[in-house]
């Protein structure tokens, strides 16, 4: 048997096993639920260790700068700082070697997981796991402006894929488990199980599938329990109790959403076009860019240490210390530029926590102005800051539900739901008016374009939900121009199976299980949406 014949036979066996699982729907969902718990526990221990290592590397760097470098510089001694610059070069080289070893670990990680779910990528779960873990820790040690959330998502997805491969699950079940792993990753990173669940459905899978809901929820809750009660980790932001929202805050909240919409799009522009800057200064390789980022990080640690790392400490200091307007403007410009340059280097690290910190700075600037003009009372400053955080993330990710839920769980105060929804909705609309697109979708598109040798696409099973008002809604199967090499293998609505006969009318709420190429799956997902 040739290699091609072997691959074809394996695909046929996987397809047959998938059809068998779909025919036993209730048992299949129950199995997914318990496997989601396993993924959550394994992911919780892995991500808990990951976050602990990040915190330790951060403390080591701060200790070195506060104990040795800064006192020496104050006495005119530059030797310790020069030694750190040499160490930064060493860090850049180690991270470069790690990135070359496993290119799928470069960047944030969420676009890679999305590509994996769509069938574009096939990540090696074990190399991704240890490269992501190690490189992110070294990046934090170097003081780069990167967040923990996207690496946690990819680490959770890698753990889930490893469990799937060990258990020898079919491709469809593996996709469900990877989605559950991403849910566990975000939940563990923020100690926010509800937001982690919704993130897996809204952002990663882009559908609220009943088959995905149970394992994603089980995985998110399990991971949060492990990180919270085994590792003692809590939410990364510390917010004081906020007063109830009044009618006096309606105008500031609307303005915050209107401002954060275009700013979120501008943030995305920086993240997707930073390569032009590196090319302009003739830094076209991975190592030169990493070297630039680490050297820059050394100077930032001296000049403006508040903008290093993800930014959770920055947000907490803003809420607690109330910096001046001029300082807030400096922090905003510095955090934006340093985040763009850090992530643009290719360092394995996310930008969601930096996104939160930039949104908090926007809210702090606005509240500072309103307070100085006597329009609002200073006690409402935190209200505007938290609303701006939700708005900024919504504008960038285009995932308003996840953004609002994250803030609600991080603050622990659900009484501000209406204010957050209002601000996020306005940011969503204003970002759309300036042609804003989801950042992770943009980065996935760029990754697919930049592949030197496009991987041979193989057919995979995709779940296509049908939304009200979509192209597929109300049409017969025989009237749809299906892509070539596309096979409709199953149709389900709630727990009822429908035989995919040509005259079957597709209705909202149905889920199609299609055996198709990744590019065609993307098209079908769009056809199924409103």
The domain spans of the chain are 11-229, 247-446, 456-528
387 Cβ neighbours under 8 A, 6+ residues apart: 253, 256, 257, 363, 416, 419, 420, 422, 423
Which CA distances in Å does 404 have to 121, 139, 235, 353?
Answer: 30, 29, 15, 14
- Its CATH class, for the domain covering 456-528, is alpha beta
pTM attached to this predicted model: 0.87
Mapping DSSP to helix (H, G, I), strand (E, B) and coil, where does residue 6 land? Answer: helix
Query: Is the CATH number of domain 247-446 3.40.50.10490?
Result: no
Place of tokens 């069938």: 119
Query: Is the CATH number of domain 11-229 1.10.3080.10?
Result: yes
pLDDT of residue 7: 47
Q: Mean pLDDT in runs of 10 for the chain (530 residues)?
A: 51 59 69 92 95 94 94 93 96 94 88 85 90 94 90 94 90 87 92 89 73 88 94 81 83 94 94 91 90 95 92 88 92 95 90 92 94 88 92 92 88 84 94 90 82 60 80 85 79 77 86 77 74
Nearest to 46 by CA among 236, 145, 188: 188
Specify the DSSP class assigned to residue 486.
-
Beta-sheet strands, E only, within 290-445: none
pLDDT of residue 153: 92
Place of tokens 């459905």: 201
CA dist., res. 370 & res. 148, Å (int): 33
CA dist., res. 157 & res. 187, Å (int): 12
pLDDT of residue 15: 60
CA dist., res. 468 & res. 479, Å (int): 18
Q: Do domains 11-229 and 456-528 have the same CATH topology?
A: no
């Amino acid at each position: 048997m040739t290699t091609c014949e072997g691959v074809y036979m394996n695909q046929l066996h996987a397809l047959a096993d998938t059809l068998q699982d779909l025919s036993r729907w209730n048992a299949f969902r129950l199995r997914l639920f318990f496997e989601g718990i396993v993924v959550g526990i394994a992911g919780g221990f892995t991500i808990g260790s990951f976050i602990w290592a990040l915190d330790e590397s951060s403390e080591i760097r701060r200790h070195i700068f506060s104990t040795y470098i800064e006192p020496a510089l104050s006495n005119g001694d530059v030797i310790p700082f020069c030694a750190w610059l040499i160490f930064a070069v060493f860090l850049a080289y180690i991270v470069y070697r790690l990135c070359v070893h496993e290119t799928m670990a470069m960047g944030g990680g969420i676009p890679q997981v999305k590509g994996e779910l769509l069938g574009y990528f096939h990540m090696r779960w074990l190399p991704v796991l240890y490269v992501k873990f190690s490189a992110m820790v070294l990046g934090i040690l170097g003081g780069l402006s990167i967040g923990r959330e996207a690496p946690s998502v990819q680490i959770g997805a890698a753990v889930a894929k490893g469990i799937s491969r060990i258990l020898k699950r079919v491709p469809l079940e593996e996709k469900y488990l990877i989605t559950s792993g991403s849910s566990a990753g975000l939940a563990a990173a923020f100690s926010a199980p509800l937001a982690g669940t919704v993130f897996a459905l809204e952002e990663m899978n882009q559908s609220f599938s009943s088959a995905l809901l149970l394992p994603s929820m089980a995985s998110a809750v399990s991971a949060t329990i492990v990180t919270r009660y085994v590792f003692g980790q809590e939410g990364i932001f510390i917010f004081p109790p906020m007063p109830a929202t009044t009618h006096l805050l309606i105008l500031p909240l609307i303005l915050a959403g209107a401002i954060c919409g275009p700013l979120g799009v501008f943030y995305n522009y920086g993240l997707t076009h930073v390569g032009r800057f590196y090319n302009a200064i003739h830094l076209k390789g991975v190592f030169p860019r990493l070297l630039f980022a680490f050297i820059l990080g050394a100077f930032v640690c001296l000049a403006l240490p508040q903008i290093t790392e993800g930014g959770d400490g920055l947000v907490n200091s803003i809420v607690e210390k109330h910096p001046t307007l001029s300082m807030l403007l400096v922090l905003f410009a510095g955090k934006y530029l340093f985040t763009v340059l850090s992530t643009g280097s290719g360092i394995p690290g996310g930008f969601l926590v930096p996104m939160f910190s930039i949104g908090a700075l926007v809210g702090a600037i606005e509240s500072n102005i309103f307070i100085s003009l006597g329009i609002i009372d200073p006690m409402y400053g935190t209200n505007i800051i938290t609303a701006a955080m939700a708005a900024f993330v919504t504008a960038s990710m285009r995932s308003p539900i996840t953004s609002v839920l994250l803030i609600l769980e991080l603050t622990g105060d659900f009484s501000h739901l209406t204010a957050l929804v209002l601000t996020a909705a306005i940011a969503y609309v204003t970002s759309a008016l300036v042609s804003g697109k989801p950042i992770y979708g943009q980065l996935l598109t760029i990754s697919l374009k930049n592949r030197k040798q496009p991987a041979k696409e193989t057919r995979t099973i995709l779940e296509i939900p049908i939304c009200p008002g979509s192209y597929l809604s109300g049409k017969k199967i025989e009237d749809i121009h299906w892509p070539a090499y596309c096979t409709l293998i199953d149709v389900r609505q709630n727990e009822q199976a429908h035989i995919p006969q040509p005259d079957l009318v597709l209705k909202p709420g149905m889920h199609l299980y299609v055996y198709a190429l990744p590019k065609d799956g993307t098209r079908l997902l769009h056809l199924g949406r409103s």
